[in-house]
Structures are given as C-alpha cells and as structure tokens.
Amino acid sequence: MAEKGKTGHRQRLRDRFLAGDAESRSDEMLLELLLTFATGRKDVMPLAQELIRVFGSLSQVLSASHDELCKVKGMGQSSTTLLKVVDFIQSGTTSTTTRPSLPKGAAGATQQKSFENLPVEQTPDQSSSNTVNKKPVESKEPSVSDKQPVKEDGTSTGSIVADIPTAPQRSSRSSKKQPAAKKSTRRKFQVSNGYFLEFDQLARILHFLMEHRDAKKINRKTLQEATGLADRQVESLVSMGAAMGLITPGRQVLTPVGLLIAEQDIFIEKRGSLEWCHYVGAGSFRNLIWFEIFNRLLAEASPMTQEEWNERMRSDLAGKYSKRTIGKGLYEEVRFVIDAYMERNFSKLELLHRSSDERLYRRRYTQFAPLVLSAMIYDFCATKETHLSQVGEMAVTPGSPAVVFGLDAASFRQQIEGLHDRGWLRYETTHNLDQVRLKPGFSALEFLTAHFEDREPREDSKPSPGGIFQ
C-alpha cells in the first residue's frame, strides 16, 4: 500500500505539472519531480527540501558542482547526474547555434516572476508565462556571429552595431559628464517589471555583453537569441543592470564599472561588488521605489510592514502616476526590493531585516571594503561636481554612502578617518572644519579596479573624461 501511495503521489506530481498548476512550479516541487526520475520507491520530498535549504533556490541547486551536491545526504550518482544533465541542457551548450560559452555555474533560462497573485488584474501582455510560450518571431537581422561592420550612414548589416573602441570613460555612473543642473530628474517607476533579481540570469547578460564589449549598441532581440531568455526577461534584467550602473540603458552595452565587475565577479557574489551595486541601486534618485525605500522609509520612518510601505508610498505618489501603475507597479517594485535583500545575493550585506511582527527595518552597515567605500565617496562627490564635502551634510544627504548604508554622522566619520589614515583622501578637522577633501589623480573606477586587483590605488596623470580633476 505504501509503494502504491508513493506511485500515486508521483503521478499526481506529473499530472499537476502538465496541467500547468501554479503550485507545481515552486522550486521545491519542481526539484521533487526531477528527483523522482532518478530515485525509485522513496519519498524524495525531504531531499528536495534539504537541497533548497542548503543551496537557496532551484537554480542554485542546478548550478552547484558535482562535489557540492554529493555532500548532501541522500544524493547518489543517479540524482546528481540527472541534475547536472538538466543544468548542462539549460546552459545552451548543446545547441548548434554559435553562442558564447557561459561562466561555470550559470543557471537555467527561466527567471522567476516576483509573485503569482497580483493585487490587481494582470493584463495579457504583461504575463511572463505567455511571453515564454509564444512562438519566437524570426529575426530579419543576420546572426550575431556574423559581426558585420557598420555602414557609413550609421546603419548596421548585423544585429550588433560595431564601432571603433573609444577611450574608457572614468565616470562610474555615467559615460558623459553633465552639469548637475542639466541632469535628467525623470524617475523610473518600474525597474524590475515584475521579476526577481536573479543574479545568475543577469550573469548571462553580462557575459554576452562582455564578449561583445566593442559593440556600440546591442538590441534586445540579439540578447534574447544569445541567452535563451524570453524578451521580457531580457528587458527586466537589462533594466536591473542599468539600475545598478552596470549596463548603459538604451544601448545595452557595459559601462566601465559593468565591464570590471563582469570580468572579476560576474555573478556579483563578493561583498565589494554587492556594496557597490547597492550604493548605486539604492542611491540613484532615478530608481524611484528603490531610492525611496532606503533613503526615506528606512532612514526616516519607524519600522513598518510591507503593506504599510505600500500604503505610505501610494499616498505619496497619488496623482503623480496612474492608479494602475501605483496599484500594480508599486506592489511589484516593493516586493522586488524586499526579495533582493532578504532572499538574493544582497542578503549577504544583512542590511534589511524583518521582525517577528513582520515589520521591516535596517541595520547599520560598517563592514565596508575600504577601497569600495573610497570609490563611493569619490563617485558621490563627482555627482555633486565638487572635490570638497562636509561630513555632517553628507551623512544626511539622500543617496550618499552614509544614508544608503544606514550610518549616522559619528559612524561615517569613523569610516572616513580610516580612509584618511590610508592616504586615499583627506579628512580635515582643524580650525573647526569637518570635511572630506578628495585627492587629485584618483577616481571611483581606479579605487574599484584596485579593490578587485587587490592592490593599492594609483594616481592617474591622464585626464579623466568623467572625473573632477582634469
């Protein structure tokens, strides 16, 4: 009877999956279904749950190495082989189409939606499942691998617009220096477009863009074909990469910092990479919801629940956006930020926490990689077009390293004193001063490069296109 019960359970798993049951698409149930094909006459649900607990998600289970999987009790050769075969198939390396090889550990091609049940009705054109199941439209452009040159009139015979490489831009957030008064203040309401921040999926995009670093522009159709991701997935991943300063929006090419991180930490797993991406993502005024959460709600308000966050921002944004945008888009973006900091790679920073009564709060972050913090300070001053900044003012200015990491003035001064002792900036306190003075010849990009190369930063005697000191 027990064996019949297990057989029936397995059949129900398969039937529910084939019927498109939403609950059957959870990480645990998908993994359980996979394991049934490798393990006979045994309840594999506990093993599936343990694998998710150890590795964090289905995509991370699949991308785990053979040795890592074998360390989990209950994982035999058949189960391990099956999971690695699925990972291999998802990587796209079996295709006869020419594609760049993916970094080791890249996960599958299906990015999770940030939630299943929306508070308002979802329109058909916004459904990711419909997008995935639609028959791809044949591209009228030549293959990516053709890499044909640009014509004199600016048009391209291929889907990547090639261009002669220009000198690398030194500005960490923007490739063009603009006066502060002329910078666009248009804010992006939806960064995620309803998706979670899947770092392994973003790594696919970064890898392709790194392989085509000399391109002037790469369109989304090319990225879709090269990575095997759906069009809306590509759109959301590019949007998230742009929000963190890694991808140039509109052109879909890597920024100088994006190229550096793609070369050094493509899955954005190291603390220094996460510190920088948090600083840019949460500190950019353009990223409306992300910015408001870390610079307003967590900085100025008492701990609130997720729903109270939604209500607070609904009230603040009423009349500025349509009711549908505020209703659906706000819910998506708040969920995206919470998930990124509590379930994804950003959780390593331990910034965002939830109390027993479901209230969200932030802890002060002080474990900075010194070179990365220096890069933040230099970048922040560059956006203000100054080489001199008051510490007390910076400690309360939205978008500053102090505010986005939850530091008060005293804690921030302590961090700056450490950088002063290293000789990377000057902290001036004599004659009643309390200010940071940047040193000529240094830039945010140089500090980040020195961090990843594990060396001291070097002064650059050449002019920096995006920096302060010419």
All domains of the chain in start order, with CATH: 2-89 (no CATH), 159-350 (no CATH), 370-453 (1.10.10)
Model pTM above 0.85: no
pLDDT (0 to 100) of residue 14: 85
pLDDT (0 to 100) of residue 269: 97
pLDDT (0 to 100) of residue 91: 61
Among 244, 290, 310, smallest CA distance to 398 is for 290
- At 99, the amino acid letter reads R
* Rounded Cα gap, residues 286 and 214, in angstroms: 27
* Rounded Cα gap, residues 201 and 110, in angstroms: 8
| 59-104 residue pLDDT tens | 778 888 888 899 898 898 889 899 988 888 876 544 443 434 444 4
First to last CA, the chain: 81
Q: Where are the alpha helices (DSSP H) in 212-320?
A: 220-227, 231-243, 256-264, 271-283, 288-292, 298-300, 306-317
pLDDT (0 to 100) of residue 378: 97
Structural contact between residues 257 and 276, judged by C-beta atoms closer than 8 angstroms: yes
- At 445, the amino acid letter reads L
CA 232 vs CA 49, 128, 236: distances in Å: 30, 7, 6
* Rounded Cα gap, residues 265 and 454, in angstroms: 13
Question: Quick one: how many helices (H) and strands (E) in the chain?
Answer: 22, 9
Structural contact between residues 204 and 227, judged by C-beta atoms closer than 8 angstroms: yes
| 270-284 residue pLDDT tens | 999 999 999 999 999
CA 347 centroid distance within chain: 12
Residues 6+ apart with CB under 8 A from 5: none
Across the strands, what pairs with 254? Answer: 247
What is the token pair recorded at 258? 């994006």
Which residues of the chain are modeled with pLDDT < 50? Answer: 1-4, 93-184, 463-470
Among 224, 94, 3, smallest CA distance to 238 is for 224
Structural contact between residues 281 and 294, judged by C-beta atoms closer than 8 angstroms: no
Taking the alpha carbons of 322, 328, 331, 336 in that order, is the dihedral positive or negative?
negative
pLDDT (0 to 100) of residue 171: 40
pLDDT (0 to 100) of residue 407: 95
Residues 6+ apart with CB under 8 A from 431: none
